[in-house]
Amino acid sequence: MVQLTMAKAINEGLRRAMADDPKVLVMGEDIGKLGGVFRVTDRLQEEFGAKRVIDTPLAESGIVGTAVGLALRGFRPVVEIQFDGFVYPAFDQIVCQVAKLHYRTRGNVRMPLTIRIPWAGGVGAAEHHSESPEAYFVHTSGLRVVAVSNPQDAYVMLRQAIASDDPVVYFEPKRLYHTKAEVHLDVDPADAPPMGLARVAREGTDVTVLTYGAQVATALDAALAAEEDGISLEVIDLRSLSPVDYRTVGASVRKTGRVVVTHEAAREAGVGAELVASVTERCFHYLETPPVRVTGHDIPYPPAKLEKHHVPDLDRVLDAVDRVLDRPNSLTGVEQ
Amino acid sequence: MTTVHTLNPMADLATDVDDVARLLTPAGERVVDPDLQQWIEDVDTAAIQRLYRDMVLLRRIDAEGVALQRQGQVGLWPPCQGQEATQIGTARALRADDFAFPSYRETGVVYARGGKPSDYVLAWRGEGHSTYNPYKLHTATQQIIIGAQSLHAVGYAMGVQRDGGDQVAAAYFGDGATSQGDVNEAMVFASSFGAPVVFVCTNNQWAISEPVSVQARFPIAGRAPGFGIPSMRVDGNDVLACLAAMRWAVDHARKGRGPAFLEAVTYRMGPHTTSDDPTRYRDKEEVEIWRRRDPIDRVEALLRAEDAFDDGFVAEVAADADALAAEVRQAAMGAVTREPLSIFDDVYAEPHSGIDEQRVAYAAYLNGFAATQES
Ligand SMILES: Cc1ncc(C[n+]2csc(CCOP(=O)(O)OP(=O)(O)O)c2C)c(N)n1
């Protein structure tokens, strides 16, 4: 067991996946000598050579589109999109090609592609560097979408994503890149809980908080704070957004009867909307109060100096907890 | 060899289309092209007869496709009449284990790669998005998103480089596609990595209703050298020139010299698809000019001149075309639509709880109807 940052854990995941399977390739902008703008691919080119750690031209559709061809030829490419906001030029290749080739060819062609995306805000970045585009990909069948929240998961889930015969969009919260935690590197990814399963990050009895990525930490902070008020929050780290593990989610909701969903992506037609709708369909008779969403606002990601008003913090999560518990909250007295 | 036949902005469609490399004039006379000649030394009369047969069969498949659409047996058909020489000439220069990446209009490429009638009609009938296994034909599913396949071809070629293989990838796309970012990104990647890929741009003068002048004010073959890719502009209605140019391009790529680019200058005689009405945007005279440049007629003229177009040969080709057309018809009419729940198949390679649940729910829903009908 070692103490590693999330960036290092991912780096180690890439290294071991490449060492184990010569068909694994890493490609993206600045990932070679520089080691990526977040140093996630640090020293991989030195170790595996420029044919397997490929500095590509600056063209996102080109990166994903050529990875499709490499996958057709039997490779397992791991592509890095430099920042969340730069995945849009590759959107067509991801949703029309990567996601659909297996279906289009009735299973003859596999697309074992992993698309790594440094993701979301909270790091004081420039415009286009803090986007949360996950809902676009969750809405696209044929893609698996995962979001990691800690170094251990980052390591194991990356290896599982690379081993998967399906394409995986793999979101890495930037604001956790440098958070350290203990990582077991010798877990066999095949024996670890699959990336499609949710994790109960903290057990509780009063309210279920559904979240993923960096918001897991916020939800856990909220749970600590709530405990002081005698309220017990159960925090579910979804880990996978497609598919969602509704077994784990449902078990928790049936236990608590109250649901708060939190993510930093905008609200309208977001992942939270889907979670609330699905939980309501599945667990309506167990619900004591309507589920509540705590999300980013439906605005373009704001400038860095204002981002704290956009990304839900512990207090906004606690306010939502008060709402589902019918305690005084920000809406008390407001005509609805 | 870096041959670009015109380096002036396109002035006049009528004269520019003749600024191409060719081995066979529109009248069917052999001419010598210093660059192309060496690539068809081995092509004897029997080989030309085979190319002729391929083109006639392709035209017949295409006519059958249009007829099947008119009769409601397929939903849509993208005709390729006029482009037979480009498709057959280039595809016949590929080795079986090379990998082709055609667009929707390249029926002839799928045919030349060994596709069966069901392989080119069932998708248009709506029985499946693709009805052949790409790995069996070494041919990707015909692409509908304009230009997307150019990147897949380059990636495949990069894979060949990594495997130490000597296969070549061939990316087919139209003149309209050259305006797409993907085609330009493909050329950057191919050139930067020296990938063994051949780009075949079929310039059929039109992208639905937009003339090539909306996509390009400079001959398309002239763009490739700017990416560091040698190119040729060939007569796309001259099957010998298409074969020779493609052999040059494939050889260049196979020998590790990097990508090559062909612009085949041809014409789409019919509508863009069976839903299109070309009379709204193009002149009858233009079509007539191109009818006189027909790719099949000129090979017929050549074979006649060589005394290789006797009644026996003609009858044989006609019989083969009839037989193939009947098979195409049979493939469409005899198609059996898959069972409803198959729509959930192959969305993912591994189990996905979301899809699995939806399949179960829809099965139960359908079963409900079965139960009602029984009672
Ligand atoms: C990305 C994209 N945009 C638009 C279309 C609709 N569309 C289909 S074919 C076509 C014209 C393509 O022209 P060209 O590339 O010259 O090929 P051709 O049809 O002439 O063979 C268009 C606009 C499409 N299929 N894909």
pLDDT tens per residue across span A20-70: 999 999 999 999 999 999 999 999 999 999 999 999 999 999 999 999 999
- B311-333 and B117-125 are packed helices; what angle lies between their axes, rounded to 10 degrees? 40
B133: contact with A, CB 8 A cutoff = yes
> What is the token pair recorded at A102?
């297996």
| Furthest CA-CA distance within chain B | 80
**B353: chain A residues, CB-CB within 8 Å:** 196, 243-247
pLDDT tens per residue across span A53-66:
999 999 999 999 99
**A144: chain B residues, CB-CB within 8 Å:** 348, 352
What is the full per-residue pLDDT of chain B (375 aa) written as tens digits? 445 555 566 656 666 788 899 999 999 999 999 999 999 999 999 999 999 999 999 999 999 999 999 999 999 999 999 999 999 999 999 999 999 999 999 999 999 999 999 999 999 999 999 889 999 999 999 999 999 999 999 999 999 999 999 999 999 999 999 999 999 999 999 999 999 999 999 999 999 999 999 999 889 999 999 999 999 999 999 999 999 999 999 999 999 999 999 999 999 999 999 999 999 999 999 999 999 999 999 999 999 999 999 999 999 999 999 999 999 999 999 999 999 999 999 999 999 999 999 999 999 999 998 767 655
B122: contact with A, CB 8 A cutoff = no
| Residue whose CA lies nearest to ligand 1 atom number 20 | B207
Q: Is B105 in the pocket of ligand 1 (CB under 6 A)?
A: yes
C-alpha B171/C-alpha A68 separation (Å) is 14
A67: contact with B, CB 8 A cutoff = yes
Q: Do A109 and B134 touch (CB under 8 A)?
A: yes
What percent helix, strand, coil does chain B show, rounded to 5? 50, 10, 40
**Count of alpha carbons within 13 Å of A201, Cβ hemisphere only?**
28
Name which of B99, B154, B191, B347 to mutate to probe chain A: the one with the most chain A Cβ atoms within 10 A of its Cβ: B347
**B148: chain A residues, CB-CB within 8 Å:** 65, 92-93, 96-97
Residues 37-56 of A with CB under 8 A from B: 51-52, 56
Q: Is B290 in the pocket of ligand 1 (CB under 6 A)?
A: no
- Distance from the alpha carbon of residue B145 to the mean position of ligand 1, in angstroms: 7
C-alpha B58/C-alpha A90 separation (Å) is 36
CB atoms within 10 A of CB B277: 9
Q: Is B272 in the pocket of ligand 1 (CB under 6 A)?
A: yes
What's the pTM value of the predicted model, to 2 decimals?
A: 0.94
Pick out chain A residues at pLDDT < 70.
336
Q: Is B149 in the pocket of ligand 1 (CB under 6 A)?
A: no
Catalytic residues of A: 129
Provide the ipTM.
Answer: 0.91
pLDDT of residue A1: 85
pLDDT of residue B131: 85
pLDDT of residue B303: 98
Q: B5 Cβ partners below 8 Å, 6+ apart? A: B19, B20, B21, B219, B221, B232, B233
- Distance from the alpha carbon of residue B207 to the mean position of ligand 1, in angstroms: 6
pLDDT of residue B15: 67
pLDDT of residue A241: 98
C-alpha A252/C-alpha A134 separation (Å) is 24
Catalytic residues of B: 268, 272, 281
Determine the atom of ligand 1 nearest the C-alpha atom of B206.
20
A22: contact with B, CB 8 A cutoff = no
pLDDT of residue B13: 60
Q: Do B153 and A97 touch (CB under 8 A)?
A: no
C-alpha B230/C-alpha B221 separation (Å) is 9
Q: Do A102 and B347 touch (CB under 8 A)?
A: yes
Q: Do A65 and B182 touch (CB under 8 A)?
A: yes
- Nearest-CA neighbor of B142 among B194, B197, B103? B103
- Distance from the alpha carbon of residue B293 to the mean position of ligand 1, in angstroms: 24
- Distance from the alpha carbon of residue B208 to the mean position of ligand 1, in angstroms: 7
A305: contact with B, CB 8 A cutoff = no
Contact B82, B295 (CB under 8 A): yes
